[in-house]
């Protein structure tokens, strides 16, 4: 008896015959159709399996485009931003123009994050280090490189992000001043909201540059500090040159990042309404810093792969 197959199943079989796995959308629809079929037949034994499969596919980052040959992916949690803007619009009476303004803010956020991360990616490429992907997550983004960074390349790769944010802030500022100098801007809502978006772009890029330069590992400032310490240890303390990267990481994490993070969290605790997010962000940064330090100490304890003093 010939098994009945729908169009989706035939397309999946064609991909398998060509040696390709089912696409992400095909996997999602297979799980969904099978789960719906099991519900109609009142068979609940495999619902948990298909439910987990759907949740895993939704939670996984998906590729939107490729820039400079690097996939740009969005995590599902990034859509907290548009959801928040939509909730904000529900309580506003000027919804058409507020929708336009919200879309401009989303565009500014995406451009600012991508410029910052691709500054890291392109600088790493200059040092022969490839990039696997750039992932957009709340409250920012990160670039996943193919290999771990070493000094002195880490110094320039980490510094490229804040410098690009400063340059982009200057571009937004010039655009904002051009709108302000044109007196008719205030008469047209479209131009007025565009001017506000440019002002927002200046503020957020200036904040990104300053915030990322905080010497709190694994942020850019912490990586700049570690690279500088590793070079300094190798040059002025040659007896520790073998372990210079591990020692630099220890100093950057334990003696700099912890005091900076605790100071910021202490300030955020007393300014709860404006800086509550820092009480979540900085413990996570310290957790990642400790993991990277212990991983480096375990795997690189006997050898420093950077040969440049």
Residue 222 CA to residue 242 CA, distance in Å, equals 21
Question: What is the phi/psi pair of residue 145, to 5°?
Answer: -90, 160
pLDDT attached to residue 181: 83
> pLDDT digits over 112-154, tens only?
999 999 999 999 999 989 998 999 887 788 898 888 777 778 9
> pLDDT digits over 171-194, tens only?
999 999 988 887 666 677 788 888
In the chain, where the domains are located: 1-60, 63-213, 215-309
Residue 230, burial from CB neighbour count under 10 angstroms (0-12, 13-18, 19+): buried
CB neighbours of residue 6 within 10 Å? 10
CA-CA-CA-CA torsion sign (71, 76, 115, 174): positive
Q: What is the mean pLDDT of residues 35-61?
A: 76
Measure the N-to-C terminal CA separation of the chain; round to a whole number of Å.
73
Residue 196 CA to residue 179 CA, distance in Å, equals 9
Residue indicated by tokens 């310490």: 229
| Cβ–Cβ under 8 Å, residues 195 and 180 | yes
Residue 83 pLDDT greater than 90, yes or no? no
| Cβ–Cβ under 8 Å, residues 108 and 165 | no
Strands 70-74 and 62-67 turn out to be: antiparallel
pTM score = 0.79
* 64 confidence band (pLDDT: 50, 70, 90): confident
Residue 309 pLDDT greater than 50, yes or no? no
pLDDT attached to residue 117: 95
Question: What is the phi/psi pair of residue 38, to 5°?
Answer: -65, -35
Q: What is the mean pLDDT of residues 32-36?
A: 81
Residue 2 pLDDT greater than 80, yes or no? no
Question: What is the phi/psi pair of residue 166, to 5°?
Answer: -65, -45
Residue 46 pLDDT greater than 80, yes or no? no
Residue 114 CA to residue 201 CA, distance in Å, equals 13
Residue 305 pLDDT greater than 50, yes or no? no
């Amino acid at each position: 008896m010939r098994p009945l197959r729908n169009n989706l199943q035939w397309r999946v079989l064609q991909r398998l015959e060509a040696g390709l796995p089912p696409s992400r959308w095909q996997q999602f629809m297979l799980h969904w159709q099978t789960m719906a079929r099991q519900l109609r037949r009142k068979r609940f034994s495999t619902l948990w399996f298909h439910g987990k499969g759907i949740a895993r596919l939704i939670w996984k980052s998906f590729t939107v485009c490729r820039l400079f040959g690097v996939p740009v992916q969005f995590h599902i949690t990034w859509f907290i931003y548009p959801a928040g803007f939509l909730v904000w619009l529900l309580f506003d009476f000027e919804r058409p123009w507020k929708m336009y303004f919200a879309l401009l803010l989303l565009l500014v956020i995406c451009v600012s994050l991508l410029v910052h991360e691709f500054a890291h990616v392109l600088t790493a490429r200059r040092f022969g280090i490839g990039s696997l992907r750039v992932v957009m997550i709340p409250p920012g983004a990160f670039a996943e490189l193919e290999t771990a960074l070493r000094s002195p390349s880490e110094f320039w790769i980490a510094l490229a992000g804040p410098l690009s944010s400063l340059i982009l802030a200057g571009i937004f500022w010039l655009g904002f001043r051009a709108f302000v100098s044109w007196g008719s801007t205030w008469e047209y809502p479209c131009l007025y909201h565009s001017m506000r978006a440019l002002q927002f772009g200046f503020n957020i890029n200036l904040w990104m540059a300053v915030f990322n330069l905080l010497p709190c590992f694994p942020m850019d400032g912490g990586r700049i500090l570690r690279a500088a310490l590793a070079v300094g240890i190798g040059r002025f303390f040659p007896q520790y040159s073998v372990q210079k990267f591990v020692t630099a990481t220890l100093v950057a994490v334990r003696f700099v990042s912890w005091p900076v993070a605790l100071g910021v969290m202490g300030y955020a605790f007393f300014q709860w309404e404006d800086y509550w997010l820092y009480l979540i962000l900085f413990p996570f940064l310290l957790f990642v810093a400790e993991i990277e330090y212990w991983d480096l100490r375990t795997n690189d304890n006997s050898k420093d792969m950077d040969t440049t003093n």
